[in-house]
């Protein structure tokens, strides 16, 4: 539309005076031309930037061949898939015919229908234990073969200040939210490399961009997942020479799960439903695309490049969001 307006103005018959062609005198007419020109240039730069971003996320590959994915023949592993976002992701994958293996310490949700349950297998697993993850992986491979999709979703939160957080709660949270990603990838990536096919997705959080009082441990692990995602992507491209394996990281905003139940009233208008988050995540899998999914304010990642005074002002507005008295200790609760 902008391009059309700009071309129309440039191609206007020379016999037209500006006041006849537009209700403007000569100087405003020239100003309008300049405004349209620079607006068009800005839009063009934005489009080029979007194209380059998409190309980079596709590992600089010219094509994105989705023909190798046959969804009714694929197997996905979803950690923390018994409840919350994880369970919604499982349901969404099953709706595409994908078989799913859930790794979780909690029993599988009863919300799954019979036709869904036929495609879902459950393996009780303490994801903070390397040995437990290996045993579950061995059983899974024996039952179904190796998965082509990994969704590292399990996570918990502790609503504690740094001084009040016990070593046990800290170790459990870091083990589940962060270290378990290493365990899962170490178990299943080698077969993906051999087949030159796979998709690994990590569920982070908008907290990765903004540390908040009483959530330092949670925010630290979610920020660390960004480094994990970037490192994994680089290793797949440059160490293993398998850019075909997709990697994605998801940054959900406030989502209505058991993890955030105490904040539901405070943020009811901004809470996302788990099914909506799950749909976006699975659409990324089905599209066979790599990349980052920002499911909240698009400017959140730019907080870190703001002037320091503005960064601190933004953090100050979030200082009292997480109440210190709400301590979550159950392992396997979705992020």
Q: Can you point out the beta strands (E) in 56-126?
A: 75-79, 99-104, 120-124
Which active-site residues does the annotation give? Answer: 218, 222
Question: How far out from the chain centre does Cα 298 lie?
Answer: 13
Q: Which residues contact 128 (CB under 8 A, 6 or more apart)?
A: 171, 172, 175, 176, 179, 180, 331
Distance CA 48, CA 55 (A): 10
Place of tokens 């959900």: 252
Say how far apart CA 9 and CA 4 lie, in whole Å.
Answer: 9
Residues 6 or more apart whose CB falls under 8 angstroms from that of 289 comprise 57, 58, 64, 246, 248
- What is the distance of C-alpha 292 from the center of its chain? 6
**If phi over 0 gives left and psi between -120 and 50 gives alpha, with beta otherwise, what is residue 289?**
beta
**Tokens matching residue 8:** 């129309």
Cα torsion angle, 118, 283, 255, 247, sign = positive
Q: Which strands, in side-by-side order, build the sheet including 75-79?
A: 120-124, 99-104, 75-79, 149-152, 199-203, 246-252, 291-295
Note the helical H segments in the chain: 2-10, 18-21, 26-57, 84-95, 114-117, 130-144, 167-174, 180-195, 216-234, 274-286, 308-317
Q: In whole angstroms, what is the distance from residue 284 CA to residue 292 CA? A: 10
């Amino acid at each position: 539309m902008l391009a059309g307006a700009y071309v129309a103005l440039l191609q206007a018959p020379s016999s037209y005076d500006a006041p006849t062609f537009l209700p403007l005198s000569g100087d405003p007419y020239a100003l309008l031309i300049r405004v349209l020109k620079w607006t068009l240039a800005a839009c063009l730069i934005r489009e080029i930037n979007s194209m380059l971003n998409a190309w980079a996320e596709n590992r600089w590959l010219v094509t994105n061949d989705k023909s190798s994915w046959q969804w009714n023949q694929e197997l996905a592993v979803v950690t923390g898939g018994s409840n919350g976002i994880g369970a919604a992701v499982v349901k969404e994958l099953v709706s595409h015919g994908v078989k799913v293996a859930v790794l979780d310490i909690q029993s599988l949700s009863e919300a799954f229908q019979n036709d869904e349950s036929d495609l879902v297998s459950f393996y009780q697993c303490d994801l903070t234990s390397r040995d437990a993850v290996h045993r579950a992986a061995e059983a899974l491979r024996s039952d179904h073969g190796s998965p082509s999709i990994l969704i590292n979703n399990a996570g918990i939160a502790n609503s504690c200040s740094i001084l009040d957080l016990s070593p046990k709660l800290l170790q459990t949270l870091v083990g589940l939210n962060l270290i378990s990603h290493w365990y899962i990838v170490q178990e299943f990536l080698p077969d993906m490399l051999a087949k030159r096919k796979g998709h690994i997705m990590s569920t982070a959080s908008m907290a990765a961009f903004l540390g908040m009082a009483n959530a330092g441990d949670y925010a630290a692990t979610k920020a660390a997942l960004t480094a994990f995602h970037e490192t994994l992507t680089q290793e797949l491209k440059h160490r293993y020479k398998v850019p075909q394996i997709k990697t994605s990281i998801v940054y959900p905003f406030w989502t209505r799960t058991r993890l955030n139940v105490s904040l539901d009233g405070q943020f009811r208008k901004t809470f996302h439903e788990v099914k909506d988050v799950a749909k976006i995540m699975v659409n990324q899998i089905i599209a066979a695309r790599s990349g980052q999914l920002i499911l909240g304010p698009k400017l959140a990642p730019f907080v870190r490049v703001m002037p320091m005074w503005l960064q601190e002002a933004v953090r100050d507005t979030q200082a009292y969001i997480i109440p210190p008295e709400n301590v979550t200790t159950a392992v396997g609760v979705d992020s």
